[in-house]
């Protein structure tokens, strides 16, 4: 066997031109059918009856209330989950304690539980016939079928987004910088604002963007705890379903175009943040910098 043949690298999977072209064509066609086509249909159907019908649907009181309720829910749930994600990431990556692995598993639970199951669980905990329902009723506190229940369900579904972006990055960065700042006399808050936050800001914003998009598009858990009361507890996804069941297809697509636009903006924001070093690529970069 010659030296040239012994040094030749083994062929990689997909090196054959026909395999490479077939895989690329398959991915492009599948992506067009599953992602691009639905977005185009939403835009076409939203304006199928003209601009006046579109604006009339968006300006309808029920639609405006659904949009406003969705925005209020996001304005409450996203900041709370951001604080929770930062605190959880800080505790897991900067301290060693019993139950650390359990906390990691606990953060991931919302990804493994169906949102509808979570909504039903909240009914059995906070509903009138639930575990804590009679206690809240005695003090005239209404959680379910109102804004608090919608916010709680949305917070449960989106709880892991910020934490799961920060934990790998902060683990790769290590504790050296914080320990150095502490040894120089910096307080905990000063260390966080001056050392930790600048190093995680893009990953933090990345998680916030994903969390916000999920809050505004959440359907399953919110549909259970909201009661689907038109003009009162309907968020935008629930309002779209009601319009569709009322045979108002143009109105449903017009409302859906708002969420579709949010999805497109989220994608562009996601790509821009990834270029800044957020997302999965930041972990490899942080790890290499830490080793260096």
231/65 Cα distance (integer angstroms): 6
- Note the Cα 109 to chain centre separation in Å: 14
Q: Are residue 41 and residue 136 in the same domain, yes or no?
A: no
Q: Are residue 71 and residue 21 in the same domain, yes or no?
A: no
285/282 Cα distance (integer angstroms): 5
Reading the chain (292 residues) residue by residue, the pLDDT tens digits are 455 555 566 666 666 777 788 888 899 999 888 888 888 888 888 888 888 888 888 888 999 999 999 999 999 999 999 999 999 998 888 888 888 888 888 888 888 888 899 889 888 888 878 788 888 888 888 888 889 989 999 999 999 999 988 988 888 888 778 778 877 777 778 888 888 888 888 888 888 988 998 998 889 889 888 888 888 888 999 999 998 888 888 888 988 888 888 888 888 887 887 777 666 545 544 444 444 4
State the residue for tokens 């649907």. Answer: 57
Q: Are residue 184 and residue 42 in the same domain, yes or no?
A: no
Q: Are residue 144 and residue 20 in the same domain, yes or no?
A: no
Q: Is residue 95 part of a domain?
A: yes
Q: How many domains is the chain partitioned into structurally?
A: 2
Q: Is residue 213 part of a domain?
A: yes
- Host domain of residue 41: 13-46
Q: Are residue 236 and residue 193 in the same domain, yes or no?
A: yes
pTM, entire model: 0.81
Q: Are residue 152 and residue 272 in the same domain, yes or no?
A: yes
Question: Which phi and psi (to 5°) does residue 117 adopt?
Answer: -60, -40
Please give the structure tokens belonging to residue 145. 């079928």
- Note the Cα 148 to chain centre separation in Å: 19
Q: Is residue 4 part of a domain?
A: no
110/157 Cα distance (integer angstroms): 5
Q: Are residue 27 and residue 81 in the same domain, yes or no?
A: no
């Amino acid at each position: 066997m010659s030296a040239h043949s012994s040094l030749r690298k083994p062929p990689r999977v997909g090196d054959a031109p026909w395999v490479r072209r077939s895989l690329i064509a398959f991915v492009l066609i599948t992506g067009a059918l599953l992602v691009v086509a639905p977005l185009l249909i939403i835009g076409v159907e939203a304006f199928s009856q003209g601009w006046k019908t579109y604006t009339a649907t968006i300006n309808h009181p029920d639609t405006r209330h659904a949009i406003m309720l969705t925005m209020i829910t996001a304005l409450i749930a996203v900041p709370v989950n951001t604080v929770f994600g930062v605190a959880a990431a800080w505790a897991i990556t900067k301290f060693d304690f019993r139950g650390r692995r359990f906390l990691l598993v606990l953060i991931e639970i919302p990804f493994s539980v169906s949102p509808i199951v979570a909504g039903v669980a909240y009914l059995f905990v906070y509903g009138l016939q639930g575990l804590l329902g009679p206690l809240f009723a005695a003090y005239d506190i209404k959680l379910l079928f109102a804004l608090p229940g919608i916010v709680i369900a949305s917070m449960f579904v989106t709880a892991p987004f910020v934490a799961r972006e920060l934990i790998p990055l902060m683990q790769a960065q290590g504790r050296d910088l914080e320990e150095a700042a502490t040894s120089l006399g910096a307080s905990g808050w000063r260390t966080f604002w001056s050392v930790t936050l600048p190093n995680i800001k893009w990953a933090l914003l990345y998680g916030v963007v994903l969390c916000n998009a999920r809050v505004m598009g959440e359907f399953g858990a919110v549909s259970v705890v909201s009661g689907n009361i038109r003009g009162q507890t309907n968020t935008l996804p629930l309002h779209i379903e009601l319009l569709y069941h009322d045979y108002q297809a143009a109105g449903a697509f017009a409302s859906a175009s708002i969420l579709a636009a949010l999805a497109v903006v989220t994608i562009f924001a996601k790509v821009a943040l990834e270029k800044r070093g957020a997302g999965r690529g930041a972990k490899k970069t942080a790890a290499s910098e830490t080793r260096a």
